[in-house]
Structure 1
Amino acid sequence: MKTKLTQKKKMDKRFLILNIAVIAVIVFTSLYVWTVGDDYTLHTHFYPEDGTIDNVVVNVKDDDVVEFVNVRTEKGELVADFRSDNRGKTDVLISYSIGDTKMDPMVFNLEVNEFDTIIDHTMGDIHFNGDKAVIISIIALLALAEVMMLWMYIDYRKQGKFSYTMIACGGLSIFNAILLAYVIYYLINMPNLSIGTFLMLVTGAGTIMLIVLFPLMLLLAILLAISNIWLMKNEGYRPVNALGIFFAVIWALGTLGTVGVYFIPYSNYSSGRVGYIVLMVLVYIIGYLECMFISTVACSFLATKYKVPTDRNFIIILGCAIRGDGTLTPLLKDRVDAAVAFEKKQYRETGKHAVFVPSGGQGADEVISEGEAMENYLKSIGIPEERIVREDKSTNTMENLKLSKEIIDGMSDSEDKKIAFATSGYHVFRGYIMAKKIEMEDAKGISAKTKPYFFPNAFLREFVGLLVDQKWKHIIFALAIVAFFGTLAYMIF
């Protein structure tokens, strides 16, 4: 309960502002459309040369649905005004003459929905009074979301708050930026865009997103596969070492099953309306997941490059396997050396020493604990014993941090404990996630050099961790996509 309450108190207020803005815009737009939607000005897109027409006759097939009010010219265009009466559908025929020539009637399809809003479905498009307000509101929300997501992402980067929330902000920023750029481009070129055409553009934006992301995703998929082959060559074959290859294959199949069908003539329509909607839902969800994966890679990389403030009181060194004779493996030695190098730099810059907390228990095949092995090494390179506090009970990363935190809490009653943790580069982001879970909010990661082939599987692990840790948010987003396309199908089809 304490952890949940703490997390709730520390929730970024910018998320609250964004949520309030979304609700406010939806409510305002809905009320506006509901207020003006029972009237409708039908634009015929017919412009008589002299601005006048003769013998205009407006015939409403079912006058119980809509009531004809008047017909007129507006800016040289023939327009007609209607008012809703009852829910239903009806055709409207507008006949006219030019001189002595009687023209063929123009046919329009009107519908009054359950909210008394008149919707014009002529030629499969959608028009209603207030549709421009809907378009402007959607663009405004996209723009606001983009600003807020980028703001939070950059802010988290500057403060060293690497987390799944940061990944989500980055992923949504990429996702949103592509949608926003695509929509604005078409609005500039088609300023009189109808709501129906606008919604269809938004539908097509998902495919554009996959096409835009394709080169980067292809590069990442190739690098994942190559790195896994390299990993298995050096570390041996295990199923976990082939995760990158598995991901690359799944991504390729997903891309071929969505974007690939557009290269087959008429295939996107061949399965009918339901098939088309299902395809669009899959396109958007795959695009969303790709954005999240790219953000995961970016955040994991940035976590290794973050410059830890030189004001740390304690440096936890995360353990891993040691050699049979109790000495450090190259991987673990690099972690200890990185911690020592940082501490020396901190002392040079600030005159402040930090206490080392080498952390790791004794495995079944280890002669001493990992914590003791690291302590021995620290002493051998001249670190005084009084600046080393060993933790030797932990069995995994979470316990490394948790048990080390308990030791640190026992040494100092101060609330302001500046803590860093040292680990291999590929493991730094994981350290941030674990530290956050045990409320070590200010802990910063010191990155040690490591073989590059370890990174891809770490990216995939954090990507899966993101999906699992925030599964309900991702499920809600996916349901929102389904709801959007379901509503679109109802309105257009």
Structure 2
Amino acid sequence: MLAYAPAALLFLVFCVSVLLERRKFSNAVVLGLAVLCALGALLYRLVSSKSPSVPYVVGALVALGAVALLVLVCFLFLNGVRMLRKEGRSPAHLLSLLAAFAVLGVVALLVVAAVLRTPVLIGVAWAAGGLALYFSFLFLCFVCYAFLYGRLQVRRKADFVVVLGSGLIGGTTVPPLLASRLKRGREVHERLSRRGGSPVLITSGGQGPDEKLPESHAMADHLVAEGFPAELIEREDRSRNTEENLRFSKEIMEAAKPGYRCVVVTNNYHAFRAALIARRVRIRGQVVGSPTAAYFWPNAMLREFAAILVDYRQSNAAMCVIIVLGGVAAWWAS
């Protein structure tokens, strides 16, 4: 059982960290490392048992991994094509396709390097494979913890419900994505009200260059048209991105009630990154997500992950340099 000690220790660290602060990306990484250590310990015990079935089990695992990789590539490719058909040809909508081609490119490079075994190809393959494993690990950590974060219960009491804005159709109309956020915001508000609270709902979003009115005003009008009381709505109409949404909403909440608690509402794919930003700007509250169309979710998660990589660019750049240097060492040793 000693082999499982690192996994148990990491899981304990994860539990304590989540209790202290849920809104940390390090929670996702620690959980991923705990699972990785547990799988490593399981494999070690399997190999050290010297059972005659070990080669068959290892072969089955390799075959399963190959099939999973093929299914992943096909899924990403089909999702990318569907995104282009439904959402149009935009760089932000190409992430699924680019991910599919990146996986194929890395696999092809590894195969060619294994066949030709030239020093340069071996070094490049080591670096490319290492980078692929690093980013794949981080992405799996991100997806799994984002799923767990989205399952957290909404606090029993809150003074504000903040709904984050997004673009408007034709400069005036609330799109389905934003309507989903507003519906979820109403549900959270109603639940908090039933528990004896009287929260204020803040619609947060400024006016873009192609919009005829601030997003927050269109959001408020949409809520009032759906029967929500206008006197319970506060508009934050200066923000241009998620961080400003939260900063300017925080100013409104602190001015009204310095010891406030809040619930922030966005779409489910965006909830965890919004929570990371909320922690950075010291918002007192949690973030919840509203449903998103299934075809839109994979591409959106890739976009959110890319944004998180940029937010933690210094540590990621350092890891990339280390991995590339490992590739150089492999080339030198060849």
TM over 0.5: yes
Q: Secondary structure at the match of 1:189?
A: coil
* Structure with max Cα Rg: 1
| Paired residues, number | 328
Structure 1 unaligned blocks of 5 or more: 1-138, 191-204
Q: Secondary structure at the match of 1:452?
A: coil
1:32 match: none
2: CA distance, partners of 1:489 / 1:360: 52
User: Please, which of 276, 286, 308 is the counterpart of residue 444 of structure 1?
Assistant: 286
Task: Report if the CA contact (8 A) 1:370-1:392 is conserved.
Answer: yes
Alignment of 1:241-256 (within 5 A): 241-256=93-108
2:54 match: none
Q: Is 1:376 the equivalent of 2:218?
A: no
2:156 match: 310
2:87 match: 235
1:29 match: none
Shift of 1:245: 0.6
User: Please, which of 73, 97, 104 is the counterpart of residue 221 of structure 1?
Assistant: 73
Deviations along 1:320-361, one digit per CA (max 9) or x if unpaired, are 12344844222222211111111112222x211211110111
User: Please, which of 276, 279, 299 is the counterpart of residue 457 of structure 1?
Assistant: 299
Q: Secondary structure at the match of 2:265?
A: strand
Task: Report if the CA contact (8 A) 1:428-1:446 is conserved.
Answer: yes
Shift of 1:389: 1.6
Q: Point out the structure with the larger strand share.
A: 1
Q: Which amino acid aligns with 1:461?
A: R
1:398 match: 243
Alignment of 1:293-304 (within 5 A): 293-304=139-150
Deviations along 1:194-250, one digit per CA (max 9) or x if unpaired, are xxxxxxxxxxx9xx9987654444433332222222221111111221111111111
Alignment root-mean-square deviation, CA:
3.8
Task: Report if the CA contact (8 A) 1:175-1:291 is conserved.
Answer: no
Alignment of 1:327-476 (within 5 A): 327-348=173-194, 350-414=195-259, 417-440=260-283, 442-476=284-318
Q: Larger deviation: 472-481 or 214-223?
A: 472-481
1:182 match: 43
Identical columns (%): 25
Q: Which amino acid aligns with 2:86?
A: N
Relative distance call for 1:325 and 1:460 in structure 2 (3 A) is closer
Task: Report if the CA contact (8 A) 2:14-2:30 is conserved.
Answer: yes
1: CA distance, partners of 2:256 / 2:281: 18
Q: Secondary structure at the match of 1:390?
A: strand
User: Please, which of 124, 142, 165 is the counterpart of residue 319 of structure 1?
Assistant: 165
Q: Point out the structure with the larger helix share.
A: 2
2:55 match: none
2: CA distance, partners of 1:183 / 1:487: 27
2: CA distance, partners of 1:271 / 1:181: 35
Task: Report if the CA contact (8 A) 2:268-2:292 is conserved.
Answer: yes
Q: Secondary structure at the match of 2:207?
A: coil
Q: Which amino acid aligns with 1:446?
A: V
TM-score, length basis structure 2: 0.80
Task: Report if the CA contact (8 A) 2:202-2:233 is conserved.
Answer: yes
2: CA distance, partners of 1:433 / 1:421: 12
Q: Which amino acid aligns with 2:266?
A: T
Q: Which amino acid aligns with 1:455?
A: W
Structure 2 unaligned blocks of 5 or more: 52-57
1:195 match: none
Q: Secondary structure at the match of 2:279?
A: helix
Alignment of 1:150-165 (within 5 A): 150-153=11-14, 161-165=22-26
1: CA distance, partners of 2:61 / 2:326: 17
1: CA distance, partners of 2:327 / 2:48: 21
1: CA distance, partners of 2:324 / 2:41: 20
2: CA distance, partners of 1:184 / 1:277: 32
2: CA distance, partners of 1:378 / 1:261: 58
Q: Which amino acid aligns with 1:322?
A: L
Deviations along 1:229-282, one digit per CA (max 9) or x if unpaired, are 222111111122111111111112212323x369x6xx48x447x976775565
Shift of 1:401: 0.9
